[in-house]
Structure formats: C-alpha cells, structure tokens
C-alpha cells in the first residue's frame, strides 16, 4: 500500500512513498555507457556443469586411469580380443558424456524459462529484464516475494520489510526506510519500494553464494557417497590382490611374459566396477530429462534422490491445493453499515496497494476504486500480522482508518460474528473481515477495539488434480500435512473436499505447544493446520525432522521460504515468489502439484534400480578378488583371459544393467545403500567364485596335453556364466515380459558364442568332451540353489 498522500486513481494506483518525485531510472544512453564500461551484473549463473567439466568428470577418473594403462599394455602384448574391455570403457564414457550433456541442455533451457525478471525503471518506464542485464545505477522496483538481486540503496520505501535470513540467519524481517542499504540474497516479505543498484556482478554481497546455489550440485547424495565408499574399499582390496596375482603369474608359474601379463590383466580388470559410476550418472541425467519434459526444474540433482526418501510432505494450501486466484462470493455487512459505503472502502483499500496479494486482487476485481479518497498512510499485509490497513481522507472530509484481514485475529473471542464466520469456513470458503480502527495505523495495538463492518466471503479455486495427488501419496504411505496461514476450519474443509484423511480434525496452530517434542507429537497426530505463522512452519518442519522423518515442503509465497529452506527437499511453484524459487531444490514450472508424484517416482526409479545393478557390479568385484586370492594360494594359472571376462561382464552385467537401471521402479527408497548392496553382493560373489574355482580344479584334474588350459578355461567360464546368470535372474525380479526376454537373450547370446566356430576362436572358448562340461553345469545348479537359499534367508532376516 502507499504511504504518501495522493489521489487514488484506479488507472495509476502507484504513489511515491517517502519521496517527492518518482525516480525515472537510467536513460538508454546511460545504460549503453555502463555496459561499455563493464558495469553490468554479469555473474555467470549456471544451472549445470559446463561441457568441459562434464568431459573432465567422465574421462579423468581413478579407474579410467587404471583401466587405460592396462588397456595400453594389452594392445602391445595380446590379440585385439583381449583388449575389448578398453573399447567398452571408451563407449561407456562417451555415453556418460552424451547423457549428461543432454541433461545440461534440459536444465539450462528450464532455468531460462523459470528465471525471475526484476522490474527496472528506464526512461521513466518500468520494464522487466533479465537479472544479467542490470547495470550499475539502475532503479529496481520490488514487492512481496521479490528477491534483491544486487546490492543497492533504497530510494523509495512503503512499509517495506525485508527478510535477510538467507544472509544473516536472523529470521525476523527488518523494516527498511529510504536511504537504507539492501543486500543481494535478501527478499521482501511485506510492502514495496525501489532501490538504486550500487554493486553489481561479482562485487555484490551474495553473488558468489547465488552462483553456487544455482550450480549443478552433487552434494549430500547418499547414493553417490555410498558408491564412493564402495570404490574406496574396492581400491584397498584390489592393490594387494593385484600384486599377489602379478607375482604368482610372472614368477611362480614362470610363464612366457606375454601370457603372464595377459592373465594378470584378466584378473585385475574385472575387480573394477567401472560401469557403476557411469550408470549412476546416466540414471540421474535421464531423470533430469524426463522431469524436464514435464516442466519440472531440478535445481540440485540429489533432490531427485531426496524426494524419493521423503515420508512426510508438508503442503501450503494456497497455490498448492488451490489455484492462485480467488473470487468474491459475497460481501455481508455487519451492524448498520451501509453496503454502498463498504464497497467504496474496499475499492479504496484495493487501489492503495500497488502489489496486491490474491485475496486483495479478488476484491479489486469485484470493487474497483471510484476515486475521491486520499490515502495518507498504509500498513502492508504480512503473514505474521494476518491483516493490512490504510488511513484515508475521504471525499467528504472525514478521516478514517480501515483494516482488512483474518477475522479470528481482528475479532475478540466470543464475538457474535465468529459463529457465522465458522459456518462459512466449514463450507471451505475464505472470509476476510473489514473493520474500522479507532486509532491510527501507527498505534501499537491498532487492531484492538476495531469495529467489525463487513465480511468479505471469498471462494477458492481447487486444483482439479490435487485430490489424485493426495491419493497417490496416501497409497505410497507418505504422510501429507497441510500447513496454512488461513483459518483452520476453512483449510480443513478444503482438504476434506479433496478426500484427505484427517481433514475432519483441523488444528489451530496458535494452540500448538512450544516444546519441540510435544509439537512433533501434535504434528504427527494431525494432518491439517491453520493460522500457522512463517516461523511456526519452520518449527514444524524441524519438529518432524527431530523424529527421524525426511520432510518435503511445498509452497509459493514468502511465508513459505523459511520452511522451504530448512526442509530436506523444498518444492516451489513456478509462479511463486522469486524467494521461494531461489531456495527450493525443485521448481514446478507448470505450477501443477500433480507433477510431484512424477518426481517421487523418478527418484524411486533411480535409487531402486541403482541398488539393483550395484549388486551385479559388486558381485563381479567380489568373485574376481576371490578368484585371484585362490589362484595365488593354490599356485595355479589364472583361469581367464581378459576376453573371457569382457564377454561375461557384457552379457551378465553391462547390457542387463543398462536396461534395469532405466526401468520403472515404484519401490520406496531405503537408507544405508552400502550395507544393503554388500549384504547381497558379498555372498553372491563368494558363491560364484567358489563354484568357478571348483570347476576349474576339476577340469585341471581331468584335462591333459598342450590344449588343456583352453579346455579348463572354457569349463570355468561356463560355470561362472551360469551362476552369474542366476544372480541376474534374481535381481531382475519381479518378472515382466521384457525382463524375461532380457535374461533369455543374454543366455542365447552366450550359446551362440559357444556354437559359432569363428566366435569360439575369437573368444578362445571350446567345450571339450562331455564329462567336465556337464560337471560344470552340475556345479552351477548347486551354486544357484545355494544362492536362492541365501537370498531368501537374507530377505527374511532383514525384511526386504
């Protein structure tokens, strides 16, 4: 609302608070001059990594270095088929780079769509421009929800309250006046004004923070942290095992150098779960692309994973369950108030606010200002206060002060009007009270003793898809809590219309206990809360987190910012305030609450599938290490060449893992990723390694002659393939037609290799006789039975 005295013109409602002249801003020539001098807000805000960073991250990894060195060695000492693993790594790296680049394009495109455009005055005209186009000396307008994008000095202020919590940690808004400094990174919670930019670009206070906050992020991801932990353990196991294998093959068996190197490399390469990191990156990247197609901007990649772990979703009613706009259903006068006069007051209040919220906008649409009244002072609406107000010099010379806001805040307990208001709230209608204050707006208790004059009944527009979304969360055993600043009964009625469980018992947040444990119990036991202040929203999120819950918060207004910032996952509507979009990890650009289940499903797909395929990769690591140890202990030749394990890895891990990692998966995410994966991978790898080595020993005892080693290798390869296929068959459950086809296709591919002569020669695989091959099959069947039993025991023991 405006602060200076001026005629309320419905066409030009903006007055000039605390100043005698409205700043015109820079001219076009002045802007061009400043751009030429480099005085422009050129902070390179990015939503994703640069192409160079993507290439670096995918190419220059520890295991790529190890495999690259081994590949170069094999190119010089062995046939090309023993170097296939190197070409696979090149292909994998290329896929990773392409997918992440594709995700980058999606992120960058969505970031441009969702970018807030501040209003800047140039040549006397207010214009929306990109943040990066602001120059030093620009006059920038701001209102509720706007973020301060550069540092500056206030030239106009109209009841301006700025929240600097993102910079200072102090939650209380700061009242700002003309001449005060405003800092980039803060945001407006009430009132309006304008400031002149004094620091832009990298000189601005929060420039570096803003750049880091908007950048592609890989932090605080249990999935990535878990994989890094696994790779660290693998490195520790791999180094001593590889040294022992080298000594065994080069010294103890006294092979020729090339044969020894080939079999040593064949033992080292499969220890490395090289495709695991690739598939994780690809799964995240494809998740970003999929969500991008649904107009969902993921500002931090771990948010996809985090939302999959959420078990409580806190919803703001306005803008989430209901659409932003409202309509005035009726105005009921109280006492002997004149209806025409009430309409005139409402029109004046609407015209006095240059940045009306949704409720006041509905009043403006219904009752436009007729002119003739002069606003001498105003009090902007704030979520903490729950009302706004203005003082007027009326056309007949009278002076009056009016308040418009929450009836249960402005009225005293027991007031007769509360009964009627309660009945309206029970119908899901929103009610504002118009009251005439006895004093002026500057009084400490301006609302005390205010005379009720009229009830403004507003009808809220329910989102057509909100009911289905709430039902989805209920079906997925995710608790939903509606946390609103509106009247509790009204909020409960809206939630009940959408079929939300617990909506019949709404709770007034003013009766919430202050103790965190008691508050947590109350929030857990109830589903709908009204009259919640911004600080209470934050406290309720913290209380739920103290009980071990993973909390997501959705909202679109400045009153949601503190809670969004503290929640595990913050979700903002694209049409919400710039402040909410700045602190949220996920922005729903289409403003559709119904998009949220897609984000949850995408996160569950990523986590559930990566957990599955990680078991495949680490099973290979375990049996590779075990086989190397057994070879060293028994002082025998390593049974495989690199070509054998490349074939096995491709058929039992590489190709299946790629499809399984991208498959639908609705399983709820569970914590302790490393523990869950190793719980299955270790026994599976041990069983596969022991069965393979047992077949190898049987073959060594049976075969003799110069071609014995090839026959022994073929028998061991058959056992390892069959056992690995059974691990794949277990992980592919529950079966669908395409999963069955995938497993069968891998089996057929291996049979083709065994049946086609030139493939037999290429991969050095040829089963000799029938005794050992059938023995290999028998060992594999026994190992598969043990595998099945062990997996079932683990599942029963840990309830998974």
- DSSP letter string over 203-250? GSTTHHHHHHHHS----S-HHHHHHHHHHHHHHHHHHHHHHHHHHIII
Count of domains observed in the chain = 4
Decide if 42 is inside a domain: no
Cα separation, 164 vs 151, whole angstroms: 13
Cα separation, 153 vs 616, whole angstroms: 60
Instruction: Supply angle C-alpha 45, 51, 56, rounded to 5.
Output: 115
Tokens, residue 458: 């507003």
Cα separation, 684 vs 652, whole angstroms: 14
Domain at 154, CATH number: 2.70.150.10
Give the per-residue pLDDT at 14.
36
* DSSP letter assigned to residue 186: B
Scan for tokens 């943040």, then name that residue.
Answer: 131
Domain at 654, CATH number: 1.20.1110.10
Give the per-residue pLDDT at 685.
93
495-505 burial: b if 16+ Cβ within 10 Å, else e:
bbbbebebbee
Same domain, 646 and 728: yes
Cα separation, 726 vs 691, whole angstroms: 13
Same domain, 733 and 641: yes
Same domain, 329 and 458: yes
CB 774 within 8 Å of CB 781: no
Per-residue pLDDT of 162-209, as tens digits, reads 877 666 555 567 888 888 888 887 888 778 889 999 988 777 765 554
For residue 701, the tally of other CB atoms under 10 A from its CB is 10
Decide if 1 is inside a domain: no
* pLDDT-flagged residues of the chain (< 70): 1-22, 43-49, 107-116, 165-172, 205-221, 251-256, 300-302, 324, 558, 575-579, 668, 798-800
Those residues whose C-beta lies under 8 Å from the C-beta of residue 255, and which sit 6 or more positions away, are 249, 263, 637
Tell me the Cα Rg of the chain: 34
Phi-psi map region of 193: left, alpha, beta (phi>0 left; psi -120 to 50 alpha): left
Scan for tokens 């049996």, then name that residue.
Answer: 623
Where among 462, 481, 512 does a domain terminate? 462
Range of the domain at 720: 51-104+237-289+600-798
CB 163 within 8 Å of CB 187: yes
φ, ψ at 529 (rounded to 5°): -130, 135
Same domain, 538 and 480: yes
Same domain, 345 and 472: no
Scan for tokens 């086809």, then name that residue.
Answer: 741
> Between β-strands 451-462 and 322-333, what pairing exists: parallel, antiparallel or unpaired?
antiparallel
Same domain, 536 and 619: no
Give the per-residue pLDDT at 171.
56
Alpha-helical segments (H) within 707-736 = 708-731
Beta-carbon-side half-sphere exposure of residue 61 (alpha carbons within 13 Å): 24
Helix (H) or strand (E) holding 329: strand 322-333
Cα separation, 356 vs 738, whole angstroms: 55
Give the per-residue pLDDT at 12.
32
Same domain, 766 and 621: yes
Same domain, 327 and 403: yes
Per-residue pLDDT of 112-121, as tens digits, reads 555 668 889 9
Those residues whose C-beta lies under 8 Å from the C-beta of residue 646, and which sit 6 or more positions away, are 84, 85, 88, 269
Same domain, 128 and 93: no
Beta-carbon-side half-sphere exposure of residue 643 (alpha carbons within 13 Å): 18
Scan for tokens 């869950």, then name that residue.
Answer: 676
Same domain, 470 and 543: yes
Same domain, 362 and 455: yes
Those residues whose C-beta lies under 8 Å from the C-beta of residue 342, and which sit 6 or more positions away, are 331, 333, 434, 453, 454
Where among 462, 479, 495 does a domain terminate? 462
Instruction: Supply angle C-alpha 617, 698, 786, rounded to 5.
Output: 45
Decide if 741 is inside a domain: yes
Decide if 220 is inside a domain: no
* pTM of the model as a whole: 0.68
Decide if 469 is inside a domain: yes
Give the per-residue pLDDT at 648.
92
Cα separation, 69 vs 528, whole angstroms: 61
Where among 591, 626, 648 does a domain terminate? 591
Give the per-residue pLDDT at 800.
54
Give the per-residue pLDDT at 301.
65
Tokens, residue 714: 């073929």
What is the distance of C-alpha 796 from the center of its chain? 33
Decide if 309 is inside a domain: yes
Give the per-residue pLDDT at 619.
92
For residue 30, the tally of other CB atoms under 10 A from its CB is 16
CB 518 within 8 Å of CB 534: no
Cα separation, 481 vs 676, whole angstroms: 30
Known catalytic membership, residue 338: no
Decide if 191 is inside a domain: yes
Same domain, 776 and 659: yes
Tokens, residue 702: 């049976």
Active-site residue identified among 151, 158, 316, 408: 316
Domain at 388, CATH number: 3.40.1110.10
Give the per-residue pLDDT at 214.
42
Decide if 563 is inside a domain: yes
Cis amide linkage into residue 734, ω under 30° from 0: yes
Those residues whose C-beta lies under 8 Å from the C-beta of residue 330, and which sit 6 or more positions away, are 457
For the four alpha carbons of 540, 541, 542 and 548, in that order, the dihedral sign comes to positive
Domain at 315, CATH number: 3.40.50.1000
Tell which residue, 550, 119, 647, has the closest CA to residue 314. Answer: 550
């Amino acid at each position: 609302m405006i602060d200076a005295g001026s005629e309320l013109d419905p066409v030009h409602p903006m007055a000039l608070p605390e100043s005698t002249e409205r700043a015109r801003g820079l001219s076009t020539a002045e802007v061009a001059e400043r751009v030429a001098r480099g005085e422009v807000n050129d902070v390179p805000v990015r939503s994703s990594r640069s192409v160079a960073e993507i290439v670096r991250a995918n190419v220059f990894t520890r295991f790529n270095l190890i495999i690259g060195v081994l590949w170069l060695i094999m190119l010089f000492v062995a046939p090309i088929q023993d170097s296939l693993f190197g070409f696979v790594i090149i292909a994998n790296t290329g896929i990773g780079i392409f997918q992440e680049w594709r995700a980058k394009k999606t992120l960058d495109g969505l970031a441009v769509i969702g970018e807030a455009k501040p209003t800047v005055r140039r040549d006397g005209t207010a214009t929306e421009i990109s943040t990066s186009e602001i120059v030093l000396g620009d006059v920038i307008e701001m209102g509720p929800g706007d973020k301060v994008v550069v540092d500056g000095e206030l030239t106009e202020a109209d009841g301006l309250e700025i929240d600097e919590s993102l910079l200072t940690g102090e939650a209380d808004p700061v009242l700002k006046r003309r001449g005060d400094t405003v800092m980039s990174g803060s945001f407006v919670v009430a009132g309006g004004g304008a400031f002149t930019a004094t620091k832009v670009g990298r000189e601005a206070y929060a420039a570096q923070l803003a750049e880091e906050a908007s950048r592609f992020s890989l932090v605080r991801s249990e999935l990535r942290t878990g994989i890094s932990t696994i790779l660290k353990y693998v490195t520790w196991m791999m180094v001593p095992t590889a040294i022992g294998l080298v000594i065994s093959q080069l010294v103890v068996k006294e092979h020729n150098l090339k044969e020894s190197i080939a079999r040593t490399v064949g033992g080292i390469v499969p220890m490395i779960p090289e495709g695991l990191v690739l598939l994780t990156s690809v799964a995240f990247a494809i998740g970003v692309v999929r969500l991008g197609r649904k107009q969902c901007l993921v500002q931090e990649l771990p948010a996809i994973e985090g939302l999959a772990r959420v078990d409580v979703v806190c919803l703001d009613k306005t803008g989430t369950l209901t659409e932003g706009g409202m309509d005035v259903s009726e105005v009921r006068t109280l006492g002997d108030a004149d209806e025409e006069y009430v309409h005139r007051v409402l029109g004046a209040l609407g015209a006095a606010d240059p940045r009306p919220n949704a409720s006041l906008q509905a009043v403006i649409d219904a009752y436009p200002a007729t002119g003739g009244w002069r606003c001498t002072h105003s009090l902007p609406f704030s979520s903490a206060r729950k009302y706004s107000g203005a003082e007027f010099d009326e056309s007949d010379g009278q002076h009056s002060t009016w308040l418009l806001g929450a009836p249960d805040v402005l009225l005293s307990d027991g007031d007769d009007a509360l009964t009627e208001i309660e009945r309206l709230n029970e119908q899901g209608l929103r009610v504002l009270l118009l009251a005439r204050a006895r004093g002026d707006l500057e009084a400490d208790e301006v609302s005390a003793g205010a005379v009720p004059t009229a009830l403004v009944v507003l009808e809220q527009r329910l989102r057509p898809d909100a009911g289905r979304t709430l039902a989805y969360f209920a079906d997925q055993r995710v608790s939903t809590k509606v946390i609103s600043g509106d009247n509790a009964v009204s909020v409960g009625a809206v939630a009940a219309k959408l079929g939300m469980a617990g909506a019949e018992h709404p709770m007034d947040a003013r009766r919430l206990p202050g103790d965190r444990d008691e508050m947590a119990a109350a929030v857990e036991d109830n589903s709908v809360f009204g009259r919640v202040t911004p600080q209470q929203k934050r406290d309720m999120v913290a209380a739920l987190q103290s009980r071990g819950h993973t909390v997501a918060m959705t909202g679109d207004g400045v009153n949601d910012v503190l809670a969004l910032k503290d929640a595990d996952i913050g979700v903002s509507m694209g049409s919400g305030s710039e402040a909410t979009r700045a602190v949220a990890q996920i922005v729903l650009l289409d403003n559709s609450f119904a998009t949220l289940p897609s984000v949850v499903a995408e996160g569950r797909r990523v986590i559930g599938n990566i957990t599955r395929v990680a078991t495949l990769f680490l099973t290979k690591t375990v049996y590779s290490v075990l086989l190397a140890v057994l070879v060293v202990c028994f002082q025998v030749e390593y049974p495989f060449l690199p070509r054998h394990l490349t074939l096995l890895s491709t058929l039992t891990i590489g190709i299946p893992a790629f499809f399984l990692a991208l498959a639908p998966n609705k399983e709820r995410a569970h914590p302790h990723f490393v523990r869950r994966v190793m719980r299955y991978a270790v026994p599976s790898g041990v069983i596969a390694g022991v069965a393979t080595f047992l077949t190898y020993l049987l073959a060594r005892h049976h075969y003799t002659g110069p071609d014995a080693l090839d026959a022994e290798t073929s028998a061991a390869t058959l056992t390892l393939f069959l056992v690995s296929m059974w691990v794949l068959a277990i992980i592919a459950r529950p079966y669908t037609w395409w999963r069955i086809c995938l497993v069968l296709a891998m089996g057929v591919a291996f049979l083709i290799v065994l049946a086609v002569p030139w493939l037999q020669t290429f991969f050095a695989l040829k089963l000799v006789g029938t005794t050992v091959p059938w023995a290999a099959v028998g060992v594999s069947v026994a190992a598969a039975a043990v595998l099945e039993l062990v997996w079932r025991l683990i599942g029963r023991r840990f309830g998974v």
